[in-house]
Each structure stands twice: as structure tokens, then as C-alpha cells.
Amino acid sequence: MNRVSSIFRQMVKLVPATLFDRAVSKHRGERHAGGFRSWDQFAAMLFCQLSQTKSLRASEGKLRHLGM
């Protein structure tokens, strides 16, 4: 069975998670996080940028199917 990744998933895979985690640790990006991890924030912002959304609230339903 062939598995097909969405274009969004293919773009997210371009950013190595280990490199991203290292940058978050280096800059202590999670220290004031209130339940929304840096990776989730990155994915949401990328999705909104690609879909030309004006706000996260406007795309709340679309983000739900991404697991966020």
C-alpha cells in the first residue's frame, strides 16, 4: 500500500526535528510555554503562512486535523 504525504507534511520534514529542538534548548524557548510546545507553534505558523491565514483562531478547525 502506498502512503502519500501531504505537501505540508513534506515541508515540515525539511526542518530536522533534532536541529529545531537544539535551537529551542539553546534559546530556552520552552521556559514560558503555557501548554503549546515550540514545535506545535512552528507547525501552526507554517500552516497559516502557507494558507495565507490572518489569524490562528480563523484556522482553528483546520489545525485540529493536524493533531494540534
Q: What is the pLDDT of residues 2-33, one digit of tens each?
A: 777 888 899 999 999 999 999 999 999 888 87
Measured torsion, CA atoms of residues 56, 64, 4, 22, in degrees rounded to the nearest 10: 60
Give the span between the Cα atoms of 33 and 9, in whole angstroms. 24
Q: Which residue in 35, 41, 54, 53 sits closest to 12, CA to CA?
A: 41
pLDDT of residue 45: 86
The closest alpha carbon to 58, from 48, 46, 67, belongs to 48
Band of pLDDT at residue 51, cut at 50, 70 and 90? confident
Three-state secondary structure call for residue 16: coil
Mean pLDDT for 37-60 is: 81
Check pLDDT > 60 for residue 68: no
- The residue extents of the domains of the chain are 7-64
Overall pTM > 0.85: no
Residue 47's Cβ-side half-sphere holds a number of Cα atoms within 13 Å equal to 22
